[in-house]
Structure formats: structure tokens, C-alpha cells
């Protein structure tokens, strides 16, 4: 099941999306929100796969809301204004539905999300690791990456970016959670919902942030204890 939240300040539009979610067998409605701030509170404590987001909302519009998310679920924008389409795709939205929304357009958009989720699952199964290297699929090629060269791994929607020494990041269609499960826990640690770091590469920590050159990686609250245990064991402080 694909877990969904619909966000719209118009009650009638929200109820229409809700009725379409309930009509679609592979969707599960988690919440209906009349503001982006209401949705942020839910996302802080709940894993969600898909957001239906209206763009024109008071206080915080849908585009700025999506840009503010550290870890983005799949996004389908809903709006009455076609001129926002380009901006919507710039923030990696899966699709864009114009109001008034018909069920045919709704189903087309959610089927795109379903196909992408299935594609991620298939690529998860193709991830291959050994004691000293990692094989990933990127741009239709299988690439071998030495674990010792990895600095950190960053979630980017349904993709991850593997940042390695002296080379451009390698992007692959794999969940960060699956990547975490395959990597040796003695050498790699999840420190944030969006980041895994190579512990051997951690050289500088600045106010609870791991520093890689000009990149500052925050340590999330749920990972602080494990990371502090690593510091206590490793660093002389």
C-alpha cells in the first residue's frame, strides 16, 4: 500500500482527493491537512510515501513547503493554475494535476508513483556488496565502488547519491534504508534520515554536524546516542 497525505486549504478539493484515494485499491489515506504546517507535524512522526499538495495556500504555499522537506516523499501537485507546472517539476514532483480533477487524471498520476516505487524495489534487489566493494546500477551500467572511497551517502527522493573521494557523486535508484542494511555496520552509520556516513572519513564535528569539506551533515535526534557512542569510543575528548 502507498501511504498518502492530501494537503489543500479548500475543504471541497480535499474531500475530492480523499474520495479518489479511497477508491484506489493500492492507496492508503494517512491524513487530510488544510495547511502545510499541519502536514509538517504529521510528517515529523509518520512515514508517508506520497503527498498530494495544493500550490496556492496561505502562510506557506505548496512549492515552498516541498522545498523545505529534508526527505521528500513522492509529490503530486494539485492546482487550478497551469503556469506553476514548470516550477512543480523543478522540485522533482512526479506529476501535476490541474483542477477540477477528474479520476482519470488522478489515476494516471498515482500509477506513475506506483511504477516508480516498483522500480525502486527491483533495484533494491540488485544491490550487491562484498567486504570491500559495492556494485550499483547507474545510467544502465553496473559500477563497482570501493567502500574505502565512500565519504557519505545522501538520499534524494527515491534515489541515493554516493559521494566518493575525488570524483563526482554516483546516483542510483535504491532506497537509503536498503543501502544501510547492506553496508557493514562497523564502518558505516546512519546519522540522519537522509544521510549515511563512512565512519573512517569522519574527521571534523562542528556543533553536532559532521563536516566534509564544505558540506555539513546534521546528526538527527534519533541517531544522536549511537553517534555519541562512536565519538566516545574513537575520539580523545
| Same domain for 117 and 132 | no
Q: Write the pLDDT tens digit of every residue in 175-227.
A: 888 888 888 888 999 999 899 999 999 999 998 899 998 899 999 999 999 99
Range of the domain at 38: 2-124
Number of domains in the chain: 2
Same domain, 182 and 109: no
Cβ atoms within 10 A of the Cβ of 80, count?
Answer: 14
Alpha-carbon distance of 138 to 194, in angstroms, equals: 19
67 and 159 in one domain? no
Asked if 133 and 179 sit in the same domain, the reply is: yes
The answer to whether residues 196 and 230 belong to one domain is yes
Q: What HEC string does the chain produce?
A: CEEEEEECCCHHHHHHHHHHHHHCCCEEEEEEECCHHHHHHHHCCCCCCEEEEECCCCCCCHHHHHHHCCCCCEEEEEECCHHHHHHHHHCCCCEEEECCCCHHHHHHHHHHHHHHHHHHHHHHHHCEECCCEEEEEECCEEEEEEHHHEEEEEEECCEEEEEECCCCCEEECCCHHHHHHHCCCCCEEEEECCEEEEHHHCCEECCCEEEECCEEEECCHHHHHHHHHHHHHHCCC
CATH of the domain at 90: 3.40.50.2300
112-146 tens-digit pLDDT = 999 888 776 655 544 555 568 888 888 767 888 88
pTM above the 0.85 mark? no
- Residue of 92, 50, 110, 42 whose CA lies nearest to 74: 50
Amino acid at each position: 500500500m502507498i501511504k498518502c497525505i492530501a494537503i489543500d486549504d479548500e475543504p471541497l478539493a480535499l474531500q475530492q482527493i480523499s474520495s479518489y484515494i479511497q477508491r484506489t485499491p493500492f492507496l492508503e489515506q494517512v491524513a487530510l491537512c488544510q495547511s502545510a504546517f499541519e502536514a509538517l507535524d504529521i510528517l515529523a512522526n509518520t512515514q508517508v510515501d506520497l503527498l498530494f499538495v495544493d500550490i496556492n495556500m496561505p502562510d506557506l504555499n505548496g512549492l515552498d513547503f516541498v522545498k523545505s522537506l529534508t526527505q521528500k516523499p513522492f509529490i503530486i501537485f494539485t492546482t487550478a493554475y497551469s503556469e506553476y507546472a514548470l516550477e512543480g517539476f523543478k522540485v522533482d514532483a512526479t506529476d501535476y494535476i490541474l483542477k477540477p480533477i477528474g479520476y482519470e487524471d488522478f489515476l494516471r498520476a498515482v500509477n506513475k508513483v506506483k511504477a516508480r516505487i516498483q522500480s525502486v524495489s527491483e533495484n533494491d534487489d540488485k544491490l550487491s556488496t562484498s567486504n570491500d566493494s559495492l556494485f550499483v546500477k547507474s545510467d544502465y551500467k553496473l559500477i563497482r565502488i570501493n567502500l574505502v572511497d565512500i565519504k557519505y551517502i545522501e538520499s534524494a527522493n527515491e534515489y541515493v547519491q554516493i559521494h566518493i573521494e575525488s570524483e563526482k557523486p554516483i546516483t542510483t535508484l535504491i532506497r537509503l534504508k536498503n543501502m544501510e542494511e547492506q553496508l557493514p555496520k562497523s564502518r558505516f552509520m546512519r546519522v540522519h534520515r537522509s544521510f549515511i556516513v563512512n565512519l573512517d572519513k569522519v574527521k571534523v564535528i562542528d556543533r553536532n554536524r559532521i563536516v566534509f569539506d564544505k558540506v555539513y551533515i546534521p546528526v538527527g535526534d534519533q541517531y544522536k546516542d549511537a553517534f555519541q557512542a562512536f565519538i566516545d569510543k574513537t575520539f580523545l575528548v
